Amino acid sequence: MEKKALLVISFGTSYAETRAKTIAATEQCLQKAFPDHDFYRAFTSRMIINKLKKRDNEIVDVPREVLKKLKEAGYTHVRCQTTHIINGHEYEITLKELKAFENNFKSLTLGRPLLTTVEDYEETVDVVMGKMPKLKKGEALVYMGHGTDHQANATYPCLDYMFKMKGYEDVYVGTVEGFPELENIVPLLQDKKYKKIYLAPFMLVAGDHARNDMASDDEASWKTVLEEEQFKVECILEGLGEYPGIQNMFVEHLKKAQPVTEM
């Protein structure tokens, strides 16, 4: 008898409110698309998993722990979908964990991260700009991506270029832990003589980075740095996972999921 499971794999967040609006909302969208599959959740951030366990006594497994339980429970077919944004370290770790179980199920598939194909970039730009304020003269939008030392950091300059290609000349993409950084973007904003800057996270959740590194009154936050440069700043604390269009993109990625044996 076939026994099917759906495993949704996210980086995770310790902020319950944004987790409900983003990760849980995306999970529910994926569940709705595959109602004949039993749902399971996994996070890839060990730091967040440990914090949730210590602070809230909430247990979330890493992918390999869930797959071990699914094998023991007799599941035969497992569909997995990552909610990671880029094909970076977290995604590679996830794929490696799944490959260790490739012979334990009749089928084990994985859907790719949000920004994988050129079409993904185009659709993502359309989705997010449909949710952002219409920029007036003298206004710009700066997205904060996470950034990484992985080669997949090239995603962020590519995304910035895609915004420009689609006519959004006043949209910029920076990162917290990669390139470009805010210091690379500020001169561009000054050259264009913008008066007001919108800041928004280009992350699945509006968690720690969005609240502290982007929108806080800390002297090193993006908001503070831009205000010191005499820009008026408005922060938009919404994660990408809140947008139905992004949730639907993950559904489409899950429908196109490949066997991990072929990845």
Residue 120 counted as domain residue: no
Residues 13 and 105 in one domain: yes
Average pLDDT, the chain: 97
Q: Is 146 annotated for ligand binding? A: yes
CATH classification at residue 69: 3.40.50.1400
Residues 107 and 145 in one domain: no
C-beta neighbour count of 259 within 10 angstroms = 12
C-beta neighbour count of 58 within 10 angstroms = 12
Query: Average of pLDDT values for 24-53?
Result: 96
Residue 48 counted as domain residue: yes
Residues 142 and 217 in one domain: yes
Q: pLDDT tens digits for 111-147?
A: 999 999 999 999 999 999 999 999 999 999 999 999 9
Q: pLDDT tens digits for 139-172?
A: 999 999 999 999 999 999 999 999 999 999 999 9
Between β-strands 196-201 and 139-145, what pairing exists: parallel, antiparallel or unpaired? Answer: parallel
pLDDT the model gives residue 1? 83
Q: Is 122 annotated for ligand binding? A: no
Residue 189 counted as domain residue: yes
Residues 153 and 66 in one domain: no
Q: Is 89 annotated for ligand binding? A: no
Residues 26 and 54 in one domain: yes
Residues annotated as catalytic are 146
Query: Average of pLDDT values for 223-243?
Result: 97
Residues 34 and 63 in one domain: yes
pLDDT the model gives residue 152? 97
Judge residue 157's burial from the number of C-beta atoms within 10 Å of its C-beta, 0-12 exposed, 13-18 middle, 19 or more buried. Answer: middle
Residue 108 counted as domain residue: yes
Each residue of 103-138: b (16+ CB within 10 Å) or e? eebeebbbbbbbbbeeebbebbbebbbeeeeebeee
Tell me the CA distances in angstroms from 222 to 3, 9, 175, 201, one per residue in order.
48, 29, 11, 11
Is pTM beyond 0.85 here? yes
Residue 123 counted as domain residue: no
DSSP-assigned beta bridge partners for residue 196: 139, 232
Q: List the domain range (segments joined by +) for residue 83.
A: 4-114+243-262
Q: pLDDT tens digits for 45-80?
A: 999 999 999 999 999 999 999 999 999 999 999 999
Structural domains of the chain, count: 2
